[in-house]
């Protein structure tokens, strides 16, 4: 029988420290993203002023006389594309989700769901390329425009890009609804559709909300598609057939041409900061909705 007094078990402490250090480092980096954006962006805000930044619709940093730094046109561009994309993607995505969760047989669902998810693997530059090649001319023809590079074309493609997110997460939310509810409704003589409409969808509503929010986050952050087919005009857009330049595209276009540490450079970081905050909030909201019903 041996005594059981503790000796320092170094073998136990080493992994703890190694993993711990890595973890702290990693978390530090991830927090650092916000920190960098904030530090650089704040400098832009202090030089430009909030009023000019947020209330001016003119973005002309390279103007010879008085450069203007208003981001409203870009924000509106982002808004138009986001709204249109949602209009296309949400009903489409929900319909697919309902089909997969409620109507399709388990075998079909097992095959189809991964295929829908694979759409998310199409690089957005490829979608943009196809849009440029096929969709833009089509839109131009239908609406008799000189070219099809506008908010509408971009929205259609961005909707496709966000479709897998919305469809997949909605499908998860619908499937999670306990079958007890469905059975009870059907036992009362309701048809399947009425059951879905009045029982399942309301029960899954917070999950569906989360799906839409996550889709929105994806839509707002989309860069390549809008870069390639949205037209990139800086003017304030007036209809969905106008050419737009959302915030993401603006950053990608101008960042290569600015002088490092110049005000213009800082201003682009400020836009990046805004994007970061917006998408972070949206994802936070999505998390809230996901956890609302899960105890």
Partner 1 sequence: MNNNTIIKIQSLNAWYNGFHALKGVNMDIYKNNITALIGASGSGKSTLLRSLNRILDVTPTARVQGNIIIDQEDILGEDIDVIALRRKVGMVFQNPTPFPKSIFDNVAYGLQVQGVPNKRSGGLKGFLKRNKINAEDVVKSQDPLDIAVSKSLKEAGLWEEVKDRLWQSAFRLSGGQQQRLCIARAIAIRPEILLLDEPCSDLDPISTRKIEELLIELKKNYTIVIVTHNMYQAKRISDYVGFLHSGELIEFGETTNIFNHPQKTLTGDYVKGVFG
Partner 2 sequence: MKQGLLRERIYFFIFKISAVLGISILLVTLVLLFNSGHSVISWTFLTSHWQHQNITKGGIFPAILGSLYLGLGVMVISFTLGISTAIFFSEYNKNNLVKRILQLTIRNLAGVPSVVYGLFGLAVFVNFFSFGTSLLSAMLTLSIMTLPWVIVATIEAFSAVPQKFRESSLALGADQWQTIRRVVFPIAIPASITGGILGVARAMGETAPIIIVGATFYLSSLPSSIFDKFMALPYHIFILATQHSSPFATSYAAGSALVLIALTFLLSLGSIIIRYHLRSKKDW
- Using CB under 8 A, which of 87, 134, 176, 178 touches partner 2? 134
Which CB, 16 or 50, lies closer to partner 2? 16
Stretch that binds partner 2, among 62-70, 90-98, 175-183, 235-243 (CB under 8 A): 90-98
95 close to 105: Cβ distance less than 8 angstroms: no
Integer angstrom CA distances of residue 173 from 99, 120, 126, 169: 13, 19, 30, 6
Stretch that binds partner 1, among 4-12, 58-66, 89-97, 197-205 (CB under 8 A): 4-12
Q: Any idea which residue has 């997110």 for tokens? A: 165
Beta carbon nearer to partner 1, 3 or 259: 3
Q: Which of 75, 83, 130, 235 binds partner 2 (CB under 8 A)?
A: 130
C-alpha 168/C-alpha 208 separation (Å) is 10
* Cβ–Cβ under 8 Å, residues 223 and 236: no
Q: Name the DSSP letter for residue 76.
A: H
119 binds partner 2 (CB under 8 A): yes
49 binds partner 2 (CB under 8 A): no
Residue 4 in contact with partner 1, rule: CB under 8 A: yes
Binding partner 2 by CB under 8 A: which of 224, 230, 244, 267? Answer: 224
Per CB under 8 A, the segment of 44-52, 186-194, 199-207, 234-242 that binds partner 2 is: 186-194
Encode 60-76: b = buried (16+ Cβ within 10 Å), e = exposed. Answer: ebeeeeebebbbebbbb
Check the CA dihedral 254-255-260-261 and report its sign.
positive
Q: Is 121 in the site for partner 1 (CB under 8 A)?
A: no
- Least Å distance between CB 9 and partner 1? 7
Task: Considering the complex, state which of residue 93 and residue 237 has its C-beta at the smaller distance from partner 2.
Answer: 93
In the list partner 2, partner 1, none, the entry touching 2 (Cβ below 5 to 8 angstroms by class) is partner 1
Is residue 181 a contact point for partner 2 (CB under 8 A)? no
Contact 101, 174 (CB under 8 A): yes
CA atoms within 13 A on the CB side of 2: 3
Give whole-number Cα distances, 154 to 60, 116, 135, 159, in Å: 23, 20, 9, 8
When asked if residue 16 is in the footprint of partner 1 (CB under 8 A), the reply is no
Footprint of partner 1 (CB under 8 A): 1-7, 9
């Amino acid at each position: 029988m041996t005594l059981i007094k503790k000796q320092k078990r170094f073998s136990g402490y080493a992994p703890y420290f190694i993993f711990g250090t890595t973890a702290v480092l990693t978390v530090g980096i991830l927090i650092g993203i916000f920190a960098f954006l904030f530090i650089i962006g704040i400098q832009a805000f202090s030089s430009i002023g909030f009023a000019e930044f947020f209330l001016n619709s003119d973005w002309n940093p390279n103007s010879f006389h008085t450069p203007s730094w208003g981001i409203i046109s870009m924000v509106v561009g982002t808004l138009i594309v986001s709204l249109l994309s949602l209009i296309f993607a949400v009903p489409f995505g929900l319909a697919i989700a309902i089909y997969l969760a409620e109507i399709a047989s388990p075998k079909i669902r097992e095959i189809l769901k991964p295929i829908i998810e694979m759409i998310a693997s199409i690089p957005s530059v490829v979608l943009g390329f196809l849009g440029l090649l096929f969709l833009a001319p089509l839109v131009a023809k239908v609406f008799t425009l000189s070219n099809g590079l506008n908010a509408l074309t971009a929205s259609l493609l961005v909707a496709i890009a966000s479709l897998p997110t919305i469809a997949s997460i909605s499908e998860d939310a619908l499937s999670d609804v306990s079958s007890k509810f469905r059975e009870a409704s059907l036992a009362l003589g309701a048809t399947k559709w009425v059951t879905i409409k009045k029982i399942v969808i309301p029960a899954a509503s917070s999950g569906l909300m989360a799906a839409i929010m996550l889709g929105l986050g994806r839509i707002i952050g989309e860069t390549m598609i809008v870069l390639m087919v949205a037209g990139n005009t800086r003017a304030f857009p007036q209809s969905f057939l106008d050419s737009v330049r959302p915030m993401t595209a603006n950053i990608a276009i101008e960042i290569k041409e600015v002088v490092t540490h110049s005000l213009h450079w800082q201003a682009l970081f400020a836009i990046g900061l805004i994007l970061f905050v917006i998408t972070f909030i949206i994802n936070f909201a999505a998390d809230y909705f996901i956890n609302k019903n899960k105890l």
